[in-house]
Amino acid sequence: MASYPENRPNILLITADQLRFDYVGAYQKENKFMDTPCIDALAADGCLYANAYSPNPVCIPARHNLITGLTARHHGFDDNYFGAQAKPAPWNLPTFAQILSDAGYSTAAVGKMHFQPERRATGFDFFLNADEVVGDVLEDDYAMWLRERGYGERGSFHGVRNALYMQPQQSTLPEEMHGSHWIADRSIDFLRMRGDTKRPFLLWTGFKHPHPPFDIPAAWAHKYDGKIPPHTSSVTPLSLLAEENKCIADLPDEENINRMRELYACAVSYVDYNVGRIVEALKTYGYYDNTLIIFTADHGEMLGDLDTYQKFLPHDASCKIPLILHWPKGIRPGTVVEEFADLNDILPTMADLAGTSYPAAYELPGESLFAKDGKKDRSWQYVEHQRESKRWCSIRNRRYKYVHFYGDADQLFDMEKDPQERVNLLYQCTDAQILKLRDEMRQVLLRYEEKYGLEGYVQDGDFVKKPPYQIETYQEMCCPCQTVRIRGEEKIVPLEEEIIEAIKDEPTVRLSRLHIEQLLKQYAGFDDAEYRRLMELAKQNDRY
């Protein structure tokens, strides 16, 4: 029997999906418009990492970096893989849940995890999921919970996705049944039911918000009316990938865009409220003083900045994330760390505090955030995404960020003078000093890409040439969870009725201005009669 340090801390990992760093109050230095008192309190009494990054700013890749401590070179997820492309994570990669379980921890996961396959618990003793896109209600604990309480007839219980992906909308469920509320409730249940056990625990609480759809409870939907700053635009031409991202949102005017940004902020504050509920439970049940709380996100959200949306991009709105550690017994209150940190550091941090070691031969790119004599060079931050001509990788230091696109022109940004990355210094550049800086950073990036990036993309000391990238129009294809109904018992609420209910109190949404006919007919199976009924309902409810 292995021996471990006495009084090892419990670990509570809280993730908010698609939360950019600057929509947390503790990260706002100027124009402090966000109200996130519970998360801010964790930062004030703990440690805030001022420059934390997602190593790959998309859901599934970031989460597999997080749980395995390894990059896509090993776990295989350079991007999201869904539908026919879906593939399982390699069975032989240790996860932080497995490592801590083997070290005597009780391990639990609640909420959105985004594993593939979803029900593979990857080392968790307890697993209650509320996945973002549900294909089978039998595989989703939140969907089954709603069904048991009489809401099984609703397919869009995480908001209307296909037709209104980033459109302003409000939740069609009572607040106490909202997904964020349920995730907090089940996390609190786990803490309450542990009793007097001396066994330490690892709990991962994964909120789906502020990821779209922005299905905000009505009581929270107007918290930021008129308070959100306008989105930014680029001065120099954007990358092809950024141009591609413009078409995702389908937001027709500034009023509609600003309302979307307000509801994103509302979603963040609702997550904050539920974080506070969980922290209070830690105090109530006696775990607070000896629990390391890690609050972070898988990636950010462009939110209209640079006229783009979603993630995928090398800009800070997409890549830079909050990272806050709180542990009364082990962290000095008010600590701020300026050095770079990322999601790769979470697994070694957990193993370190659990008093155990990494059980495989892979070289981890991350390192414990509590390492006293750390070897990781935290003066550089490497980020990667995708494959073939769509692939990019980036490196940044405190002053500059350099991005190499395999199928597009490279970029260089001055992060001190231009933190919003509106000016690509390499665009039509003839400045010898800038070109010299590019070459120096390119060499650093080559070393990181060769060591941690996908195999075969660096050869003979240079990036492999790829064909120019061709823009592909992306539309949100995922539809309501109506694939399985238990013995046909449930009455299914028609999608057209869910759409109208979600937007009835959102006057900036006018269905006739949106490109939803093709989406509904191609991906949701609408016929002409169903689409006509939707538009008739829109007219009756002043949403045409």
Q: pLDDT (tens digit, 9 = 90+) per residue, 440-462?
A: 999 999 999 999 999 999 999 99
Compute CA 78 distance to the chain's CA centroid, rounded to the nearest angstrom.
15
Q: pLDDT (tens digit, 9 = 90+) per residue, 128-140?
A: 999 888 877 788 9
Return the pLDDT at 219: 97
Does residue 167 surpass a pLDDT of 70? yes
Written as six digits, the tokens of 17 are 């999906």
| Average pLDDT rounded to a whole number, residues 402-426 | 98
User: Which residues, 6+ apart, have CB-to-CB distance to 447 below 8 Å?
Assistant: none
Compute CA 383 distance to the chain's CA centroid, rounded to the nearest angstrom.
15
Rounded to an integer, what distance in angstroms lies between the CA atom of residue 365 and that of residue 73?
11
Q: Is 194 in contact with 201 (CB distance < 8 Å)?
A: yes
Return the pLDDT at 237: 97
Residue 6 burial by Cβ neighbours in a 10 Å radius (0-12, 13-18, 19+): exposed
Q: Is 466 in contact with 407 (CB distance < 8 Å)?
A: yes
Q: Please tell me the number of Cα atoms within 13 Å of 117 on its side-chain side.
A: 6
- Structural domains in the chain? 10-149+174-207+246-358 (3.40.720.10), 392-453 (3.30.1120.10)
Report which of 58, 44, 403, 40 is spatially closest to residue 238, judged by C-alpha positions. 403
Return the pLDDT at 522: 87
Phi-psi region of 53 (alpha: psi -120 to 50; beta: other; left: phi over 0): beta
Q: pLDDT (tens digit, 9 = 90+) per residue, 47-78?
A: 999 999 999 999 999 999 999 999 999 999 99
Phi-psi region of 31 (alpha: psi -120 to 50; beta: other; left: phi over 0): left
Return the pLDDT at 485: 55
Does residue 88 surpass a pLDDT of 90? no
Rounded to an integer, what distance in angstroms lies between the CA atom of residue 485 and that of residue 501?
22
Rounded to an integer, what distance in angstroms lies between the CA atom of residue 165 and that of residue 215?
10
Q: Please tell me the number of Cα atoms within 13 Å of 244 on its side-chain side.
A: 15
